[in-house]
Structure 1
Amino acid sequence: MTGRRDVDEELRTRLHEAAGAHEPDRARILARVERGMAGQDRSGHHRAARPPLLGWARVAGATAAVAGVLAVGGYAVASAVKDDAPRQRAVATSPTPTPSPEAATSRAPVSAVEDGPLWSDGSVDPHSNDFWAQSNITLKTGEPLTALTVELRVAQTGGVTSTGAWRSLPEEDFTFTVEERDGFLAYRWTLKQGRTVPAGEWMFAGQYDHDRGGRDAGGDRYSATATAGPGRLSVRGDFALS
């Protein structure tokens, strides 16, 4: 029994010594790791895997740097957009002026051949020739007229001289005048007070000589004002060859 106990003791002693010989030398291990990393940096080879803490620290640092760059870039872009956006400016506008009665009258159209019950037409008589012409004004009224003034204006195109005038209504019912005025030969018929023009169709004509050749009646005009009941009527127009 004594011999076996001695063998067991010797075995335990050797096992203990072997276990002590395999304890890691931390200082030596760290020194070898540092030398290995330094050697890999110089040789350009891949480094050994680093402890997780170091890797996450580098990732976190890179993420923070990228976030910082993006934040600065976003601010710069926002500033640029804000500066480049067009500024809205208030524009002062003036109200549209209301035309005066005088201006409205001066812009009145040349032709307004109908007004209520009164209708009109102007034409150059087809019997006109190279030396002489007649301008006709036709009036139609659906109601009796208690006042009426008709005016014919023949533009002075050369040699225009009155040779007479007539109307289809009674001569004694009207006052008639003819005169040169403002470059026109003006004929005027005015209904006498207390007389009436019945409803119907009526004609007023002015006759005149002119220079030889076809005369242009484009500058000739006529107008008529009348009263029917309580209303005042007005018509006007130009001339065409009948």
Structure 2
Amino acid sequence: MDETRLRRELRDAALAHRPDHSRMLARVERGMAAPAARPPGPATRWTGRRWAAAVAVVAAAAGVVGIGGLAATTLNDRPTAPASTLPAPGPSARATATIDPGGNRWWAQSDLGLTTDTTVSGLTVELRIVRTPGVVSTGHWRTRPAEDFAVTVTEEGRELVYRWTLKPGRTVPSGAHVFAGQYNHAEGVRDASADTYTVVLTGADGGRSTLRGAFGPTRPE
């Protein structure tokens, strides 16, 4: 069925003032299916423009005979996008990296001071000490109970890495805490400006926050 015939049938139906929804939709469906009965020939291409024209005619007729719900149903049947859920904010905390003044010309200690404002249910503290000449780990410590953390000291590329990970079921209360890595180095004043730290905190509600920073350059006393 071409557009002229479709428009004529819809217009006739509208003028008949018969607000029969089922009959109206049946007419449209029969009209759109009619090309299948034609003798073989070039197929009718329902391009975007033709389809838009047909929809416009149906909408115009709907305004007369009272089937305006047709367009609304089409819109309402569209799938609704799931509502996005924002992650919970992570615990509030602050960190300060310093070189302990108790070191000497052959040995140093890198201190990370961490202050948490709330109880933390997940915590990973990582110190990365660049392996300048002579750097070798001599130990580590923290102010929290040793049994609360799994600790590793590894060499990753050009860095000596100290990592403390809070064990499942343990917590860190609000307050000030210290994590320290100790190491020997070549004689003299070692430059710590390339040393870095990362702290990942997880709250009881699953919210996560991350702190990153660097140690300042070491200056002689």
1:238 to 207, 214, 217: 214
**Structure 1 segment 218-233 matched on structure 2, within 5 A:** 218-230=193-205, 231-233=207-209
1:211 to 179, 186, 192: 186
Choose the corresponding residue for 1:158, options 129, 133, 140: 133
Q: Provide the residue aligned with 2:4 in structure 1.
A: none
| 2:157 aligned with 1:182 | yes
Contact between 2:91 and 2:202, CA under 8 Å: does it hold in 1? no
Runs of 4+ in 1 over 4 A off after TM superposition: none
In the alignment of these two chains, the number of paired residues is 128
Instruction: Report the Cα distance in structure 2 between the residues aligned to 1:141 and 1:218, rounded to whole angstroms.
Output: 25
Secondary structure, in 3 states, of the residue corresponding to 1:172? helix
Residue 92 of structure 2 contacts residue 118 of structure 2 at CA under 8 Å; is this kept in 1? Answer: yes
Q: What are structure 2's unaligned runs of at least 5 residues?
A: 1-89
Q: Give the superposition deviation at 1:229.
A: 2.9
TM-score by length of 1: 0.51
Partners of 2:213 and 2:91 in 1: how far apart?
16
RMSD: 1.4
1:145 partner SS: coil
Q: For 2:92, which of 117, 125, 137 is the aligned residue?
A: 117
Tell me which structure has the larger Cα radius of gyration: 1
What letter is aligned with 1:188?
R
Counterpart of 1:191 in structure 2 is: 166
- Distance in 1, Cα, partners of 2:103 & 2:189: 9
Alpha-carbon distance in structure 1 between the residues aligned to 2:193 and 2:104? 16
Identity %, equivalent residues:
48
What CA distance in whole angstroms lies between the structure 2 residues aligned with 1:224 and 1:180? 19
5+ residue gaps in structure 1? 1-114
In the alignment, structure 1 residue 148 sits paired with structure 2 residue 127:
no
Q: Where does residue 13 of structure 1 map in the other structure?
A: none
Distance 1:162 1:121, change over 3 A: same
TM-score with structure 2 length normalisation?
Answer: 0.56
How is 1:34-73 mapped onto 2 (pairs within 5 angstroms)?
none
